[in-house]
Homo-oligomer: A and B are copies of this chain.
Amino acid sequence: MFEKFDPREGKKLEIMNENGEITPINEIPLMNDSQILEGYLVMLKTRVADEWAISLQRQGRMPTFPPTKGQEAIPLGALMALNQDDWFVIAYRELSGWLYRGIPLRNWYGYYYGNEKYAHLPTNKYHTFPPSVPIASQLLHTSGLAYAEKFKKTGRLAIGFVGDGGTSEGDFHEALNFAAVWKAGAIFIIQNNHYAISCPREKQTITPTLAEKGFAYGIPSIQVDGNDILSVYGAVKMAAERGRNGLGPTLIEAVTYRLGPHTTADDPTLYRSEEEVELWKPKDPLIRTEKYLLSKELLTSEKIEALKEEFLAFAKEEFQSVETSEDPTIEETYNYHYKELPEIMKEQLKERKERK
């Protein structure tokens, strides 16, 4: 199926267009309406939570964090196509997938608020890795997870996310090659949001697509409209089938656009034009899904407004729980380096407490 969408021939998977119109494609798994609605709710919740975090940051209540606005369809569509116990390996912009997987919003907030305890995600419950800051490094974890599950014959897959800029790191190369040689059930998703901080996609590499890089490893690779949850879902569903059938990894480039700043510390006006942003606004994954659901009368404007309020109240609550929770104790900042705190560190801890 992937051959029909060879990115080198300029082909790209697009199912739902900007107007919220769906053109199903033979053999490509299609989300049904209830799934689309379910997805929409998570996208909306993600959007509201993300915007609330920005306003918290502006109020000085939240440290620097990376907004996800405009990219919600990708992690979400991907996880909807997978099982709860497939491994979810994120970069740092995958809030929608996080929420879909059932991980509390407070854990996302709390991590960026600056407390490690919120990154304590029991793996048997969530099969999710915490945010990975060193660019592209997490793709190797993905390959390793996929190897282990193949070793254990569990049928579980591992999906790893990376940005467009991340494709330039050596780890991207090594991760894809390891997974391919192992025929491991890994799925790699590039969230091509057109920028690596200020560096435009065009300066990162001269190939017309990022997807085609997969062929260098013998990996079937496809470019999809990353602002269309149905395209993402369809591609990941097919990738998962390959993976579960022991056919090895797949690479998916999901083309999208970061509507907000890189992080709250970033000033995008330095490197991109207002016109460009305007061009992308109508392509917003949330809006087009909304259009579809409205046109199908699966949703009303009133309902949307009500949901927004509900989600905002929820986001506020979640953040409040973070803001009012205890900071780590000094012991907590020592105790998790090793199963047992070494004598040397114990003494440092003691000295530290006495030093004041």
Contact = CB atoms under 8 A, between A and B. Distances in A.
Interface of A: 168-174, 177, 180-181, 203-207, 212-213, 215-218
Contact of A203 (B172, B181, B218): B181
Contacts of A171: 170
A215 B212 contact: yes
Given A170-B174, A181-B205, A181-B206, 7 more contacts: A168-B173, A169-B170, A170-B171, A173-B174, A205-B218, A207-B217, A212-B215
A221 to B, nearest CB: 10
29 contacts: A168-B173, A168-B174, A168-B177, A169-B170, A169-B174, A170-B170, A170-B171, A170-B173, A170-B174, A172-B173, A173-B173, A173-B174, A177-B205, A180-B205, A181-B203, A181-B205, A181-B206, A205-B217, A205-B218, A206-B217, A206-B218, A207-B215, A207-B216, A207-B217, A207-B218, A212-B215, A212-B216, A215-B215, A216-B216
Interface residues of chain A: helix, strand, loop or mixed (majority): helix
Contacts of A180: 205-206
Contacts of A174: 168-170, 173
A331 to B, nearest CB: 38
A169 B178 CA distance: 11
A3 to B, nearest CB: 14
Contacts of A215: 207, 212, 215-216
A79 B275 CA distance: 50
Nearest to A248: B206
A203 B181 CA distance: 7
Contacts of A204: 181
A204 to B, nearest CB: 7
Contacts of A181: 203-206
A330 B27 CA distance: 73
Contacts of A207: 215-218
A267 B342 CA distance: 44
Nearest to A219: B206
Contacts of A205: 177, 180-181, 217-218
A206 B248 CA distance: 11
A35 to B, nearest CB: 34
Contacts of A168: 173-174, 177
Nearest to A170: B170
Determine which residue in A169, A173, A204, A206 has the highest number of CB atoms from chain B within 10 A of its CB, and name it: A173
Nearest to A213: B216
A144 to B, nearest CB: 16
A116 to B, nearest CB: 29
Contacts of A169: 170, 174
A174 B135 CA distance: 14
